[in-house]
Structure 1
Amino acid sequence: MDNQLVLLIEDDPEIVRILQAYFERDGFRTIAAGDAETGLAHHQRLRPDLVVLDIKLPRMDGYDVLAAIRRVADTPVIMVTALAEDLDKLQALRLGADDYVVKPFNPLEVVARARAILRRSLGHQNPAVTRIGPLTIDADAHIATVDSGAGAQVLALTRTEFRLLSHMARAPNRVFDRGELVDACLPEGEALDRTVDSHVSNLRRKLAKAGAEGLLSGVRGVGYRLGLPHE
């Protein structure tokens, strides 16, 4: 479950700092947004594994953000708010929140609840093993193999290459732009579009050598897609 992306939509910088520290210490990646519009844009572009959402946000409240998320995705959402009334909790749950934490909170509890929600979500979705044509990605074992007909060949991937492959495998045939891949997969010190190109080039070479040529392709002026060439 490590390396999953948590989107924090919260306008209090101190709360963001604390939550980021605790989530990242527990093996998660995080990205933060201080307002609803930015949060929804991050959600659409990055497709996080979980959202931690404040209710009191500038210009647009968390209920509206939650409703907007639920119109397009079933991403797990934890509401974090100073509103402790039962009616507020019921409103959040009715709109599709997975959990509700009242401020002041223990950040360890928020991380523990996030892990519990993601475990339940994974139990329903079973995304640990993904298959795209001859390619099999086992996220739990951190192994990617290609079956070329003569048996499965394990790909010798760097950590960043495996992140890129796993991220794109979540949505086969979708085109991912370079900026999204930078935000979702690259370490902070490598956050450059041309660095993505270098990693993807190495990844394509390794896939081709293992017998999966054409599985990872570039879309000129946009980015990259992972999928069978004829699809």
Structure 2
Amino acid sequence: MGQRILVIEDDGNIRDVCRRYMEREGYEVVMATDGQEGWELFRLHEPDLVVVDVMMPKKDGYELCQEIRRQSDVPIIILTARGEERDRVMGLTLGADDYITKPFSPRELVLRIRNIFRRTFQGRTNSGTQDEAEILDYGGIIIHPAMRQVTIAGHVIDLTVKEFDVLYVMARRPGQVFSKGKLLELVWGLDNEVDASAVTVLIRRLREKIEANPSKPNWIQTVWGIGYRFDPYGEDKLCD
């Protein structure tokens, strides 16, 4: 059986369509009809990815994202109403990795899931020599792509899939300025309809995890009017 996906959605038609398309791709699918049941099934089945609707009875998608993030960095895709930017931004702020707006194509949802799994697991089959060569060591921060692990001052930092991807993309080209559009292209993909607010929210989340003072970041610098860059000498600035 393939990776396990938990779908939490109160609309029976959407659940059925999601199950058919996901199982056709070889995924194991667990279904929940409301947020409370979703939380119970999450703890019971330990899924590899969660798809959660924002508006649900008993426990909404926001609350569920918060609870999941307190104990897991499992990828989360939220389903939101079309045009409701506040839903998307709130979901991303609470730790979701991606979102898709309703009505949506089940093929697009499966593609998003496939891309997340590919990014998460692609490094695990590489040879040890290649893995070691790809480690980015900037002294205060070490990024290991094969393990998808970030260490700062000897402490492992828990990052979501997208948080790691954004950091790794920028850290591979230290000093280069990336516009929000370029990060969307490199991390979310050209065919994705995610807007620039996703980058803003994700950068803020990332800074909260890796920066000693997120309001005065050392590693991830803002280049006003253009975008962001990774400063490989960020840790040295703490001594200035």
Structure 2 length normalisation: TM-score? 0.50
Match of 1:77 in 2: 76
Distance 1:128 1:33 in 2: 36
**Shift of the alpha carbon at 1:120?**
1.4
Equivalent AA in structure 2 for residue 98 of structure 1:
D
1:64 aligns with 2:72: no
* Deviations 1:107-142 (CA, angstroms, capped at 9, x unpaired): 000000001111112246x3899xxxxxxxxxxxxx
Which residue of structure 1 lines up, in the alignment, with residue 103 of structure 2? 104
State the partner residue of 2:119: 120
Q: Check 1:127–1:87 CA distance in 2 against 1; reply closer, same or farther (3 A cut).
A: farther
Question: Aligned AA for 1:25?
Answer: R
Residues in 2 aligned to 1:11 and 1:21: alpha-carbon distance in whole angstroms? 16
Q: Return the alpha-carbon distance in structure 1 between the equivalents of residues 86 and 26 of structure 2.
A: 34
**Whole-Å Cα distance in 2 between the matches of residues 58 and 21 of structure 1?**
24
2:42 is matched with 43
Change (3 A) 1:77 1:128: farther
Q: Which runs of 5+ in 2 are unaligned?
A: 128-240
Q: 2 CA distance for matches of 1:127 and 1:77?
A: 23
* Mapped partners of 2:126, 2:11: distance in 1: 34
Q: 1:115-172: per-residue Cα shift (whole Å, max 9, x none)?
A: 1111112246x3899xxxxxxxxxxxxxxxxxxxxxxxxxxxxxxxxxxxxxxxxxxx
CA distance in 1, matches of 2:109, 2:97: 12
- Name the counterpart of 1:142: none
Distance in 2 between the 1:61 and 1:128 partners?
39
Displacement, 1:84? 2.7
CA RMSD of superposed structures (Å)? 1.9
Q: Tell me the equivalent position of 2:32.
A: 33
**Structure 1 runs not aligned, ≥5 long:** 130-231
**Distance apart, 1:83 and its partner CA:** 4.9
After TM superposition, the score normalised by the length of structure 1 is 0.52
TM superposition outliers: structure 1 runs of 4+ over 4 Å: none
Query: What is the DSSP-based 3-state SS (H/G/I as helix, E as strand, rest coil) of the residue aligned with 1:48?
Result: coil
**CA, structure 1 residues 42+128, in 2 after alignment: closer, same or farther (shift >3 Å)?**
farther
Aligned residues: 127
In the alignment, structure 1 residue 20 sits paired with structure 2 residue 19: yes
Q: How does 1:179-198 map to 2 (within 5 A)?
A: none
CA drift at 1:59: 2.1
Are the aligned partners of 2:5 and 2:51 in contact in 1 as well (CA < 8 Å)? yes
CA-CA distance at 1:14 after TM superposition? 0.5
Q: Is the 8 A contact 2:76 2:97 kept in 1?
A: yes
Give SS of 1:72's match.
coil
- Which residue type is aligned with residue 20 of structure 2? A
- Residue by residue over 1:189-221, the C-alpha shift from the partner in whole angstroms, topping out at 9 and shown as x without a partner, is xxxxxxxxxxxxxxxxxxxxxxxxxxxxxxxxx
Deviations 1:172-202 (A, max 9, x none): xxxxxxxxxxxxxxxxxxxxxxxxxxxxxxx
Counterpart-to-counterpart distance in 2, 1:118 and 1:36 = 24
Between stretches 28-37 and 115-124, larger displacement belongs to 115-124
In 2, Cα distance between the equivalents of 1:30 and 1:55?
19
Tell me the equivalent position of 1:170: none
Structure 2 residue matching 1:58: 3-state secondary structure: coil
1:86 & 1:58 partners in 2: Cα distance? 21
